[in-house]
Structure 1
Amino acid sequence: MFEEASEVFDNMFKSSFPLTFIVFIPAVLILVSPLPAEAAHEFTVYRMQQYDLQGQPYGTRNAILNTEARTVEAEVLSRRCVIMRLADFSYDKYQKALRQSAGAVVIILPKNMSAMPQDIVQQFMELEPEMLATETIIPVYFAMEDDELLSIYTQTLTSSSSQGSLSAAEVLLHTATANGFQMVTSGAQSKAISDWAITSLEVSDDMRTILLMDDSFSWQSSPFCFSWLSYGADSNGSGVSMLLELARLFSKLYTYKRTHAGFNLLFFLSGGGKFNYQGTKRWLEDNLDHTDSSLLQDNVAFVLCLDTLGNGDSLHLHVSKPPKEGSPQYYLLKELETVVSSQYPEVKFSMIHKKINLADDMLAWEHERFGIRRLPAFTLSHLPSHRLAQRSSIMDVRSVSQSSRHGAGEPPAGPHVDVKKLSRNTKVVAEALARVIYNLTEKGAPGDLQIFTEQMQVQEEHLSAVVDWLTAQPRAAQLVDKDSSVVSTLEYHLAHYLKDVKRHYVKADKRDPEFVFYDQLKQTMNAYRVKPAIFDLLLAVCIAAYLGMMYLAIQVSHFSHSK
């Protein structure tokens, strides 16, 4: 076979040399031209949140990507996929991509988040709310760093950076000869999720009640920027862990009639809190507006909301209205002060008064939902302000061991949970609540009296296990439906200690929805190694020029032979 082919080419060379160039050279060009694009890498990307809240759109509005990769160092970003590492991220660079109508933005997260410098982490946490509040047409993704993705970024960075220092001809030649990457998502365009139900859990009684609240399924006052990365360790995995531990402790006290106090404790894990506390709002409406008899009507001593309690050496009781002297909420304030000063002097305790601003689109704290309905409520947190970035950041993850990456006493980057401090704060709340419901102050009990000791003490291992479990899975409201393992596991834990666990479902009004969620928040992206489009154009020009030259050569040869 090969001998026959060689004879054909030999005869071609001998018979007609110009014809050989016309046939053979294009064949060589075709053979050495780039092969069809092949997939260089396939990886998972997490799209920025997309939802509507009270008619206002938030987050990115697009989910489709099929464009060439560039880094922000390139001069022209229009219709390009801009990839950048978190270490190099800045709001100016992000805005540059938006201003130039980039096709998409992909931010690469490092393998070890706790190894990030504190200033970079803090900067990004402060920018997340701005990114989310801005309606963005182009898709914005996060991707976890791996060796191949980092190699793609490095090659793209080299190509993008070199173009700025070259002449126009050099840029054209470099563009034509360099390899590029075509970024393509496999998912469809995002669409609204119909009939999505936000789930809450309630354990109710019918006596005078102290209501313990926890924003369990979304974790902070404004949604995380990227829902699939919303692990919420401190905000508010710590609050859920504390509530479950309090349920365990007080269920033991309330098992026996002689230790059953005159107050009942109602535990409520509310859903949709990060969407202006929709679960709490609907639950209050159902109990106050749509029923003749309710455990909330003239029956609530106070409501204590637990939010972000896994770190710090301070505790703040956030109130919308200072409690009146002699009221149950006043006694709780005093007992918190007593327990902290007598048993934990290293902790700084204070009450922070902030009036409810009904003009704001988002309420500051969950207790304000109760304050609007004239129910006495407050929020306990180690954060002095609701505006702090720790309450709404994807950096809020369970920290790794400090010994491997950090020096002695140096905390890991970003918010994290210190289980010892979470355990201490849980004991402060448990002791203060017990002193209120058993009226120990009027009975002359000393401030250093400890109720929860020995077999009744706070279990640090239990708190740690719950935080580890919670932070092992994303818990944004769009991901936690009625069949979610998060809901069923929390329901199981509550039912283990308490009776009559009920589920509450909240669906948006179809005519005027308070909230709308969208899908396609997690997708697969392919990076294809390709030649740029201009390469095909230059190749076509070269072939046309070659054929023209061959045509002229044949004409000249024919003319000379005719003479």
Structure 2
Amino acid sequence: MAKPQGSVLEPLYSSAIILLVIVTACVELCDAVTVVDVYRLVQYDLAGVPFGSRLAALNHHAGSSLFSASATAGAAADLSRTVLILPVRELNLTFIKEYIGQTKPLGGLLLLLPPIFNPLNTDSRGESYSAKDNIKEVLTELDQLLIHANIPYPVYFGFEDDHVNTVLADVKKNDAAGQPATATTGGYKLVVVAREPKKIASPTISNIQGWLPGLKADGDSNQLPTIAVVASYDTFGAAPALSVGSDSSGSGVVALLEIARLFSILYSNPKTRGSYNLLFALTSGGPYNYNGTNKWLRSLDQRVRETIDYSICLNSIGSISNELWIHVSKPPDNVYIKQIFEGFSSVSEEMGIKVGLKHKKINISNPRVAWEHEQFSRQRVTAATLSELSVAPDFLESTGGLSDSRHFVNEASISRSVKLVAESLARHIYGQEGKSIDIFADDSSLSINPSYIRSWLQFLSATPRVAPFLSKNDPLITALKKVYVFFAIYARPLKT
């Protein structure tokens, strides 16, 4: 099967949660075995060039340092038969960069993440804000280092806990004494029994769309203008099984679902149904050049696509920052862009937040798509991206990596973004631009629901969403489709 049009990333390799067996080999042969969960580094090809970890199986003794205590100070140890256990909070990124860049031999690498970055951990106590931010910066840089390297040995991620920390303390003690683990002296051996990774030949691209028809006097809603609200739901990061992307793209998905809920209430009553159709799209392939968005747009009936007045794409809107940006491809003086920006600016001023405008012209000769709205622009559809990011991220950057966890996303910020988008769209739909009205007022039937936002954010923050590992019948896909059904948002069939 051919790759989706515009693809820049070749199929990934299967990478599931694997069990790491730690074997304690005592001199008296009183072995003890412990099993812990670990997660493999991603493996993929880009334009035929291999990236990530190229091996999965592991069977070597544990070590704790890049350097040998028994050699001269600072001398590199022979680690070709050693699995290094390195806590991220103690990581020296400079040494790791040099070691990987020089392709030095290593039996394997186990990186221990603080518990706060475990998607199943909802308790952030025990870590100060500054400590969390510092570790997040390290993880962000580490994520980018690992996914852009070709590493010829197994690399795994695990989480700190009391037992693992006890094992690591023993390994450090032995290394410091110049007594590393061997088959004769004992120590700890790390074993992963894994089959050779297989390439995913034809990854699935599942786009999920819903349709709220507007009200027209003659009953033909197909002749009405359409506004599209779009968010990419999938992720990419160094460890696919940990790529939950709470902010990117979880916050955008949560905001879209709440906006859809609010307008489904308005449109359920003919007296308050607007004269615009509303199209809600959750797209796949966001990290991969927004391939899913491209496929979805090309699959839309041409008559529907031509009715789109404009599209708002939601990307990373969950930070605590009080500043958002509207990114566009058309010049700021374009009449449609001015209309969108002025509508958002009017609402944002009332809310006490700042919204800026960023213009980035599309280079047609460059296949790289930095923002989701650029796929719309290439189809000559007016679109903009709302994001907390002031500049476009690099390829595979800010796509839901190791550091993008629930504890760094602010629910109030998502609610604020929902209010901004929903109010701006409503004033445009009902011809109330420039008027200080509050359609989605607090304590009304149209108020934003913090519990709804919280529940979806928690669900997405515990759900890895790397597209090639999601089937069409994946529980996540099914859950998102059911939301549209529950709110009576119709699934508009795609043209085949």
TMscore range, shorter length:
0.7 to 0.9
| Contact residue 87 and residue 112 of structure 2 kept, 8 A | yes
Question: Does the 8 Å contact 1:41/1:149 carry over to 2?
Answer: no
Report the 3-state secondary structure (helix = DSSP H, G, I; strand = E; otherwise coil) of the residue aligned with 2:402: coil
Q: 2:90 aligns with which of 77, 81, 88?
A: 88
Residue of structure 1 equivalent to 2:22: none
Q: Does 1:118 pair with 2:120?
A: no
Confirm whether residue 40 of structure 1 aligns to residue 28 of structure 2.
Answer: no
Q: What's the secondary structure of 2:374's corresponding residue?
A: helix
Q: Distance in 1 between matches of 2:379 and 2:105?
A: 46
Q: Any idea what SS the aligned residue of 1:380 has?
A: strand
Report the Cα distance in structure 1 between the residues aligned to 2:391 and 2:493, rounded to whole angstroms.
Answer: 31
The aligned residue for residue 314 of structure 1 is 323
- State whether structure 2 residue 438 is matched by structure 1 residue 450: yes
Residue 184 in 1 paired to residue 191 in 2? Answer: yes
Give the direction of change, closer, same or farther, for the CA distance of 1:502–1:485 in structure 2 (3 Å limit).
farther
Check if 1:466 corresponds to 2:456: yes
1:108 and 2:112 correspond: yes
Aligned mates of 2:164, 2:345 — CA distance in 1: 52
Whether the 8 Å contact between 2:242 and 2:402 is mirrored in structure 1 is yes
Deviations 1:517-549 (A, max 9, x none): xxxxxxxxxxxxxxxxxxxxxxxxxxxxxxxxx
Higher helix share: 1
CA distance in 2: counterparts of 1:143 and 1:505, whole angstroms:
45
Matched with 2:142 is: 127
Between 352-361 and 482-491, the greater mean CA deviation after superposition = 352-361
Query: What's the counterpart of residue 12 of structure 2?
Result: none
Alignment of 1:316-331 (within 5 A): 316-327=325-336, 329-331=337-339
| 1:502 to 1:153, Cα distance in 2 relative to 1, 3 A | farther
Matched residues in 1 for 2:266 and 2:451: separation? Answer: 21
Q: d(CA) in 1 for partners of 2:426 and 2:393?
A: 31
Q: Is the alpha carbon distance of 1:77 and 1:501 closer, same or farther for their aligned partners in structure 2, counting shifts above 3 Å?
A: same
Counterpart of 1:100, as a letter, is K
- Find the counterpart in structure 2 of residue 209 from structure 1: 226
What is the aligned partner in structure 1 of residue 205 from structure 2? Answer: 198
Question: Which one of 340, 352, 366 corresponds to residue 348 of structure 2?
Answer: 340
- Please name the residue that 2:412 is paired with: 420
Matches of 1:186 and 1:320, distance apart in 2 = 49
Cα gap change, 1:504 to 1:487, in 2 (>3 Å): farther
Within a 5 Å distance, the mapping from 1:17-416 to structure 2 comes to 34=27, 38-72=31-65, 73-74=67-68, 75-95=77-97, 97-98=99-100, 99-113=103-117, 114=124, 115=127, 116-163=131-178, 178-204=185-211, 206=222, 207-218=224-235, 223-287=236-300, 293-296=302-305, 298-311=306-319, 312-327=321-336, 329-341=337-349, 343-345=350-352, 347-357=353-363, 362-387=368-393, 391-399=399-407, 416=408
Which residue in the other structure is 2:11 paired with?
none
Say which SS state the counterpart of residue 115 (structure 2) adopts: coil
SS at match of 1:488: helix
Return the alpha-carbon distance in structure 1 between the equivalents of residues 472 and 334 of structure 2. Answer: 42
Q: Check 1:156–1:96 CA distance in 2 against 1; reply closer, same or farther (3 A cut).
A: farther
- Alignment CA distance shift 1:175-1:215 (3 Å): closer
For the aligned residue pairs, the C-alpha RMSD in angstroms reads 2.6
Shift of 1:214: 0.5
Higher RCO by CA contacts (8 Å cutoff, separation 6 or greater)? 1
TM-score by length of 1: 0.72
Q: Once the 2 structures are TM-superposed, how far is the Cα of residue 489 of structure 1 from its aligned partner?
A: 0.7
8 Å CA contact retained: 1:319, 1:379: yes
Letter in 1 for 2:310: F
Match of 1:331, SS state, is helix
Q: Deviations over 1:36-63 (max 9, x none)?
A: 5834321111011112345443322211
Distance (whole Å) between structure 2 residues aligned to residue 433 and residue 175 of structure 1: 66
Which consecutive residues of structure 1, in runs of 5 or more, have no partner in the other structure?
A: 1-32, 164-170, 400-415, 507-563
Measured at CA, do residues 265 and 323 of structure 1 come closer, stay the same or move farther in structure 2, by a change above 3 Å? farther
SS of the equivalent of 1:152 reads helix
Task: Mark the CA change 1:54 to 1:273 in structure 2 (over 3 Å): closer, same or farther.
Answer: farther
How many aligned residue pairs are there? 434
Using the alignment, how far apart are the partners of 2:329 and 2:267 within structure 1?
31
Larger CA deviation: 358-367 vs 58-67: 358-367
Write the distance in 2 (CA, Å) between the matches of 1:270 and 1:505: 16
- Structure 1 pair 469/324, CA: closer, same or farther in 2 (3 Å)? same
Deviations for 1:386-423, whole angstroms, at most 9, x for unmatched residues?
33865543221112xxxxxxxxxxxxxxxx22112211
Aligned equivalents of 1:375 and 1:237: distance in 2? 25
**Matched residues in 2 for 1:252 and 1:67: separation?**
60
- Give yes or no for contact 1:53–1:275 (8 Å, CA) kept in 2: no
Change (3 A) 1:176 1:60: closer
Query: Take 1:56 and 1:358, find their aligned partners in 2: how far apart are those partners?
Result: 24
Determine the structure 2 residue equivalent to 1:529.
none
- For the residue of structure 2 that corresponds to 1:143, the secondary structure is strand
Give the aligned residue type for 1:280: T
Greater radius of gyration (CA): 1
Unaligned runs of at least 5 residues, structure 2: 1-25, 69-76, 118-123, 214-221
Q: Match of 2:423, SS?
A: helix
User: Given that residues 87 and 113 in structure 2 are in contact (C-alpha distance below 8 angstroms), is that contact kept between their aligned partners in structure 1?
Assistant: yes
Cα distance, 1:154 vs. partner? 1.6
Q: Distance in 2 between matches of 1:94 and 1:434?
A: 51
Deviation for aligned residue 1:235: 1.4
Deviations 1:297-324 (A, max 9, x none): x322111100111122111001122255
Task: Report the residue type matching 2:427 in the other structure.
Answer: R
Distance in 1, Cα, partners of 2:373 & 2:334: 20
In 2, Cα distance between equivalents of 1:380 and 1:160:
51
The Cα of 1:490 is off from its aligned counterpart by 0.8
Residue identity (%)? 30
Contact 1:97 / 1:105 at 8 angstroms: preserved in 2? no
Q: 1:330 to 1:394 in 2, by over 3 A?
A: same
Alpha-carbon separation, structure 2, partners of 1:423 and 1:489: 21
**In the alignment, is the contact (CA less than 8 A) between 1:81 and 1:105 conserved in 2?**
yes
Please state whether the residue corresponding to 1:232 is helix, strand or coil: coil
Give the whole-Å Cα distance in 2 for the aligned partners of 1:281 and 1:175: 54
